[in-house]
């Protein structure tokens, strides 16, 4: 394995609840390299969303360290995190979460605006290129409500790629799509992984397991298996 | 344009209805400020221009004898005197219908060479021919006459005579005649003689040549001139120095306009609270979008910037109301101009007014919305993404009060109660908005009612119905009995009075009286002890009870002249140029009296050597209605005529009440207008917050539908929420209105009477506000509740 892009060491995460302290993650150690396509699996409440939040810097660990692309993420301030996340991680949600009052192209241009990553004049051109990559270029000037679920998810992936981040994180990206569309999205992720991105996908759907290099199964906050899956 | 700002524009245009309400909330405040400040600035400028344009005399010297024409050149060349003019003012009476009203006759030396207190010709003669007069334009209403008509006039020493109106003039230095319930006319010396008076001038009006805006300087120069005149045998009785450059009603107007400015800024603040509430709701509605934007790289600062930009745009759209507000300002300044007898020549609104409107219209809403915007922007990504439009707050254990509510009102109302208290900060903001609107609405009506109550005190304090003044002191022993025998007369008393001034060693009496002899006057009134004609409100000390004592009481306006005086002190007052000394035994609070000192007539007679003679009668009737009083006055006047009593003035109590009511008419009408405005903003706020409150919970309503709630049940639940919030705000509004009413009553009362208005609670105002809140709450929740009830469960759950 090449040098790790993502390195979680002894990560624990606790939440205060009415009954006392709930440990969502218990001494988790993970290393993920470049160009990998990883699946995170587990039952509801197992801690996979917490793990994803820690990986994206949305949440901070109670203890342990998170190093991503050489940056100690758990030590960054909120505003440093926002900017870091925008440039290093592309997030894809289950319900697409496109902003309803912006067109598809504008949704893709928004991360570039926030992170000031590309010259203003080049942003639309880049957005169209990304939409072309996810095969919905012709939908660029439509509003999200005019698109099908699969098209919206493709647009969300294009948005995740806007700032050319090395890591793409997707939280059950096919959970709201029919099986044909879901397969096309997984294929798209595989293409991205093949092109040099590290793709981490939280999924329930076992039929796509063959598309992943690795799978991290989590149960009660503990990594139970980490097995290699051959493509 | 940056994509983030494009998003703001699209968000704004995607919900016209709600955003228009936000614009309207700010616009109302900005509009109000424009109207008031615009009107204020035009009036202030025009008042100065109009008044100063008359070249008001710096001082008037009341002479004992006639002023010879040849004296004028020496006066004009006296050091420090720029110009001078002879003049005379006669307090006569005019007959309108069957009633007699006071008439101020200004006798002008040379109409073609007026040097002070000039007027503007409107129509008719430039110089009134003999036995005619020029009439001030506002007096025509009082005279119920027009140019060319004849008016019956009676001067103090003459017989009633008809005088023709030969021209109309405008004198900006005089308050409107209808306000003073008197007439104003300008005549030549020859006409004065024809009316039965001596053809002479006894007033010397002067203009000082430097420092003409300094009252001490004017007093100094006038005293120097008076000294010199005295040395040459021209005796000066009194010096009148009205506040330099100030219209008689300027202070009053400034105070009124200040109240309006406060109200208009309060309206803007109220609108801003509405905006803040709306922004808070918007931030909650946008919470997931905020989470997404943060996930894709937006910092809290950038999010704050986005929503501030949205606010600024809303404020900028509200600025479209700036130009119409300036047009509407004309309504205000025209009304105030009529009140001040001004002619508006320049209608331009100074540029500072729109600048203030823009600054206030943007900064105040931004400040108000800053807290919800910054707090909403700082939400963590996880909290934002976890938000499903459902409350995640854990309900505490059911309390005893909750069980009580369920027992008495049922589960639906209990649930409504819980929903109301779920978002405490929003509840506080909504209640604050409604309470502020309600408080201001009720304050406006409370103060208006307090004013009317105070006006009624005129009748409670003055137990007489007419005041009859004579040209000279007369014996009244037999006259009193004859008047008493007139049917319907309840009582009659002989009083006396005299203009007075504080005596200062080695100096002349200097008063602040204006040429109309009313504004700024200071009087001593002498009455029998005990009296049945006056029931004063004693604020400290005691009422007169010793007929022979040199006791005196000062009303609040007199006390303002000698602010440091206290009970037990002596006060020296000049009566007919002779010093008289009185011991202060108390202070009174009068409604509608100028500065007055009350003393015993016996002591007054002793000190002024006028024993047995009086200059005034006060008569009370059994029936105090205006028709009866007018009828009885005629009977009494006929009796006096028969007895050859030289009556100079007859002032009914109702005339005084009318005059005072007219002075504050604009204020009271404007307060009522403000009340309507407040009700409008309050209702707008109520409807806006209530409907948004429901809209943002559409998803939650979907969940309720999914678990079996019927649309009717949901409508009832939401309607109850509206009513509960409305009812809670009522208590806060009532409490706040008491505070506001007390403060404003103090301000207005002190400004007009130098005494606070009593705190009055208008039950009508309370009832109207209860109806507005009850109806408004129900109506505001009805539409969104019905809409929410009609949504299918799937639609409601998918609602963003």
Q: How far apart are CA B385 and CA B388, in angstroms?
A: 8
Compute the distance between CA of residue B652 and CA of residue B629 in angstroms, rounded to an integer: 8
pLDDT at residue A230 tops 60: no
pLDDT in tens, B747-791: 877 776 677 888 888 898 899 888 888 887 777 777 766 766 666
Arithmetic mean of pLDDT, B164-190: 89
pLDDT digits (tens, 9 = 90+) for A6-33: 999 999 998 887 778 888 899 989 888 8
Closest residue on chain A to B302 (Cα): A114
**Residues B259 and B744 sit within 8 Å (Cβ to Cβ):** yes
**Which chain A residues are Cβ-neighbours of B394 within 8 angstroms?**
18
pLDDT digits (tens, 9 = 90+) for B499-539: 887 776 555 566 666 666 666 678 899 999 899 999 888 99
pLDDT of residue B518: 60
Q: What is the pLDDT of residue B168?
A: 96
A171 to chain B, any CB pair closer than 8 A? The answer is: no
Arithmetic mean of pLDDT, B715-725:
80
Q: Tell me, what's the pLDDT at B796?
A: 59
Contact status, residue A55 vs residue A171, Cβ threshold 8 Å: no
Tell me: the pLDDT tens digits for B421-440? 776 776 787 788 788 888 88
CA distance A114 to chain B (A): 5
| pLDDT of the residue at A229 | 43
Over residues B373-382, the pLDDT tens digits come to: 888 888 888 7
In the predicted structure, residue B403 carries a pLDDT above the cut 80: no
Residue B782 corresponds to which tokens in the numbers above? 């009805």
Best CA proximity match to B310, nearest among B360, B264, B377, B265: B377
User: What is the model's pLDDT at position B270?
Assistant: 75
Q: Is residue B407's pLDDT more than 80?
A: no
Record: contact B302-A114, CB cut-off 8 A:
yes
pLDDT above 90 covers a percentage of chain B that reads: 25
Round the average pLDDT of chain B to a whole number and report it.
83
Q: d(Cα B622, Cα B457) in Å, to the nearest integer?
A: 18
For B598, the enclosing helix (H) or strand (E) is strand B595-600
Candidate from B10, B297, B298 with C-beta closest to A102: B10
B506 in contact with A, Cβ within 8 Å: no
Mutate one of B13, B282, B296 to test the A interface: name it (highest A CB count within 10 A).
Answer: B296
In this complex, the residue of B11, B294, B394 whose CB is nearest that of residue A18 is B394
pLDDT at position B406, please? 55
Q: Does A114 touch chain B (CB under 8 A)?
A: yes
ipTM over 0.95: no
Minimal Cα distance from A117: which residue of B? B297
A217 pLDDT above the threshold of 50: yes
- pLDDT tens per residue, range B584-625: 999 998 887 888 999 999 888 888 777 678 888 999 999 988
Among B293, B295, B385, B396, the strongest candidate for a mutation testing the A interface, having the largest count of A CBs within 10 A, is: B295
Query: Among residues B619, B508, B569, which one has the least CA distance to residue B227?
Result: B508
Distance from CA of B294 to the nearest CA of A (A): 6
CA-based torsion, A82, A87, A89, A94: positive or negative:
positive
- pLDDT at residue A80 in the model: 83
Distance from CA of B781 to the nearest CA of A (A): 26
Q: What integer pLDDT is reported at residue A1 of this predicted model?
A: 47
Residue B717's contacts (CB-CB under 8 Å, 6 or more residues apart) are: B412, B415, B416, B419, B709
Q: Is A44 in CB contact (< 8 Å) with chain B?
A: no
What is the pLDDT at residue B408?
A: 57
Top-confidence residue, B721 or B154: B154
Smallest Cβ–Cβ distance between A114 and the set B11, B298, B382 belongs to B298
Of B6, B293, B296, the CB nearest to A106: B6
* Closest approach of A115 to chain B, Cα-based (Å): 6
More confident residue, B145 or B436: B145
User: Would the CA dihedral through B432, B434, B437, B439 be positive or negative?
Assistant: negative
In this structure, what token pair is assigned to residue B143?
């005279």
Rounded to 5 degrees, what are φ and ψ at B92?
-105, -170
- Tell me the domain boundaries of chain B: 1-54+259-387, 59-240, 393-461+663-800, 466-623
What would the pLDDT profile of A71-96 be if each residue is shown by its tens digit? 898 888 877 888 888 889 988 887 77
Q: For B263-273, how does the pLDDT look when each residue is reduced to its tens digit (9 = 90+)?
A: 777 777 777 77
Chain Cα centroid distance, residue A156 = 11
List Cβ neighbours of A109 (8 Å cut-off, separation of 6 or more): A123, A124, A126, A127, A162, B3
Average pLDDT on A112-136 reads: 90
B492-510 tens-digit pLDDT: 999 988 888 777 655 556 6
Look up the pTM and report it. 0.70
| Closest residue, chain B, to A115 (C-alpha) | B297
CATH superfamily label, A35-58+77-228: P-loop containing nucleotide triphosphate hydrolases (3.40.50.300)
pLDDT in tens, B89-141: 988 889 888 778 889 999 999 999 999 989 999 999 889 999 999 999 999 99
Q: Does the pLDDT at position B186 exceed 90?
A: yes
How many A×B Cβ pairs under 8 Å? 77
What's the pLDDT at A195? 87
Could you tell me if B171 and B136 are in contact, meaning their C-beta atoms sit under 8 angstroms apart? yes
Q: Which pLDDT score is estimated for B501?
A: 78
**Residue A39: is its pLDDT beyond 80?**
yes
Tens-digit pLDDT profile for residues A164-199 = 889 999 888 887 778 888 888 888 888 888 888 899
Burial (CB count within 10 angstroms: exposed 0-12, middle 13-18, buried 19+), residue B621: buried
B309-329 pLDDT per residue, tens: 988 998 899 899 899 988 888
Identify all chain B residues contacting A115, using CB atoms and an 8 Å cutoff: 297
Residue B504's pLDDT is what? 65
Q: Give the chain A residue nearest B289 (alpha carbons).
A: A99
**pLDDT grade, residue B354 (50/70/90)?**
very high
pLDDT at residue number B409: 58
In this predicted structure, what is the pLDDT of residue A74?
Answer: 87
Q: In angstroms, rounded to a whole number, what is the distance separating the alpha carbons of residues B766 and B675?
A: 12
Highest-scoring range by mean pLDDT, A197-206, B169-178, B183-192, B541-550: B183-192
């Amino acid at each position: 394995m090449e040098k790790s892009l993502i390195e979680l060491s002894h990560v624990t995460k606790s939440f205060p609840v009415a009954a006392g302290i709930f440990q969502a993650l218990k001494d988790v150690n993970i290393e993920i390299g470049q160009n990998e396509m990883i699946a995170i699996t587990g039952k509801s409440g197992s801690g996979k969303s917490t793990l994803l939040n820690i990986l994206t810097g949305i949440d901070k660990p109670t203890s342990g360290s998170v190093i991503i692309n050489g940056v100690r993420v758990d030590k960054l301030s909120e505003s440093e995190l926002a900017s870091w996340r925008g440039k290093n991680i592309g997030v894809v949600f289950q319900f697409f979460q496109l902003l309803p009052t912006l067109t598809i192209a504008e949704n893709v241009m928004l991360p570039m605006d926030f992170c000031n990553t590309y010259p203003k004049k080049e942003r639309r051109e880049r957005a169209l290129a990304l939409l072309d990559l996810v095969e919905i270029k012709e939908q660029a000037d439509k509003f999200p409500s005019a698109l099908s679920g699969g098209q919206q998810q493709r647009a969300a992936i294009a948005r995740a790629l806007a700032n050319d981040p090395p890591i793409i994180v997707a939280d059950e990206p096919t959970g709201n799509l029919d099986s044909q569309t879901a397969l096309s999205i997984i294929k798209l992720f595989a293409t991205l992984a093949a092109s040099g991105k590290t793709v981490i996908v939280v999924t329930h759907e076992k039929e796509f397991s063959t598309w992943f290099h690795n799978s991290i199964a989590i149960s009660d906050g503990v990594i139970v298996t980490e097995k290699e899956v051959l493509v | 344009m940056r994509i983030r700002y494009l998003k703001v524009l699209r968000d704004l245009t995607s919900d016209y209805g709600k955003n228009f309400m936000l614009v309207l909330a700010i616009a109302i405040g900005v509009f109000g400020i424009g109207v008031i400040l615009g009107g204020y600035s035009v009036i202030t400028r025009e008042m100065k221009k109009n008044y100063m344009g008359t070249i008001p005399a710096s001082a008037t010297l009341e002479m004992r004898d006639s002023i010879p024409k040849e004296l004028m050149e020496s006066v004009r060349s006296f050091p420090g005197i720029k110009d001078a003019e002879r003049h005379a003012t006669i307090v006569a009476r005019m007959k309108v219908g069957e009633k007699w009203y006071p008439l101020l006759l200004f006798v002008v030396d040379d109409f073609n060479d007026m040097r002070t207190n000039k007027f503007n010709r409107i129509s008719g003669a430039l110089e009134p021919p003999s036995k005619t007069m020029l009439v001030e334009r506002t007096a025509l209403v009082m005279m119920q006459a027009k140019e060319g008509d004849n008016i019956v006039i009676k001067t103090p020493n003459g017989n009633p005579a008809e005088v023709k109106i030969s021209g109309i003039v405008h004198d900006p230095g005089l308050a409107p005649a209808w306000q003073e319930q008197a007439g104003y006319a300008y005549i030549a010396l020859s006409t004065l003689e024809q009316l039965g008076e001596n053809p002479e001038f006894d007033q010397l009006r002067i203009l000082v040549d430097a420092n003409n805006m300094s009252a001490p300087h004017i007093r100094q120069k006038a005293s120097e001139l008076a000294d010199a005149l005295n040395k040459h045998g021209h005796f000066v009785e009194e010096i009148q120095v009205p506040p330099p450059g100030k219209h008689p009603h300027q202070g009053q107007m400034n105070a009124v306009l200040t109240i309006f400015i406060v109200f208009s800024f309060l309206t803007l603040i109220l609108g801003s609270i509405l905006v803040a509430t709306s922004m808070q709701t918007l931030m909650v509605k946008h919470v997931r979008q905020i989470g997404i934007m943060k996930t894709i790289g937006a910092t809290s600062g950038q999010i704050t910037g986005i929503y501030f930009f949205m606010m600024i745009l809303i404020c900028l759209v509200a600025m479209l109301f700036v130009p119409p507000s300036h047009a509407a300002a004309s309504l205000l300044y025209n009304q105030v101009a009529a009140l001040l007898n001004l002619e508006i020549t320049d209608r331009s609104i100074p540029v500072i007014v729109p600048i203030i409107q823009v600054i206030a219209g943007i900064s105040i809403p931004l400040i108000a919305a800053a807290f919800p915007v910054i707090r909403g922007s700082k939400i963590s990504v996880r909290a934002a993404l976890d938000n499903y439009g459902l409350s995640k707050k854990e309900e505490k254990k059911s309390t005893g009060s909750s069980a009580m509510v369920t027992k008495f009102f049922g589960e639906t109302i209990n649930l409504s109660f819980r929903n109301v208290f779920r978002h405490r900060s929003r509840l506080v903001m909504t209640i604050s908005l409604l309470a502020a609107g309600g408080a201001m609405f009720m304050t406006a009506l409370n103060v208006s009612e307090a004013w009317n109550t105070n006006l009624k005190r005129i009748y409670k304090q003055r137990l007489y119905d007419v005041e009859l003044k004579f040209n000279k002191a007369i014996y009244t022993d037999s006259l009193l009995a004859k008047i008493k025998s007139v049917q319907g007369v309840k009582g009659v008393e002989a009083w006396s009075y005299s203009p007075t001034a504080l005596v200062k060693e080695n100096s002349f009496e200097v008063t602040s009286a204006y040429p109309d002899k009313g504004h700024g006057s200071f009087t001593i009134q002498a009455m029998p002890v005990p009296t049945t004609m006056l029931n004063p409100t004693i604020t400290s000390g005691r009422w007169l009870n010793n007929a022979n004592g040199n006791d005196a009481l000062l009303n609040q306006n007199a006390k303002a002249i000698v602010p440091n005086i206290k009970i037990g002190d002596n006060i020296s007052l000049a009566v007919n140029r002779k010093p008289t000394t009185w011991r202060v035994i108390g202070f009174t609070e009068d409604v509608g009296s100028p500065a007055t000192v009350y003393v015993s007539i016996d002591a007054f007679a002793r000190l002024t050597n006028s024993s047995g003679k009086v200059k005034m009668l006060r008569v009370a009737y059994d029936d105090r209605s205006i028709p009866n009083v007018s009828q009885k006055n005629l009977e009494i006047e006929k009796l006096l005529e028969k007895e050859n009593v030289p009556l100079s003035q007859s002032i009914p109590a109702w005339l005084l009440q009318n005059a005072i009511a007219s002075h504050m008419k604009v204020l009271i009408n404007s307060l009522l207008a403000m009340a309507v405005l407040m009700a409008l903003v309050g209702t707008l706020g109520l409807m806006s917050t209530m409907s948004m409150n429901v809209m943002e919970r559409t998803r939650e309503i979907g969940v309720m539908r999914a678990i079996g709630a019927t649309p009717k049940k949901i409508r009832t639940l939401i309607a109850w929420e509206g009513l509960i919030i409305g009812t809670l705000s009522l208590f806060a509004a009532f409490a706040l209105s008491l505070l506001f009413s007390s403060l404003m009553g103090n301000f207005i009362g002190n400004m007009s009477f130098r005494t606070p208005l009593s705190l009055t609670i208008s039950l009508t105002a309370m009832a109207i506000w209860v109806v507005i809140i009850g109806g408004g709450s129900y109506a505001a929740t009805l539409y969104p509740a019905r809409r929410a009830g009609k949504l299918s469960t799937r639609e409601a759950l998918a609602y963003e």
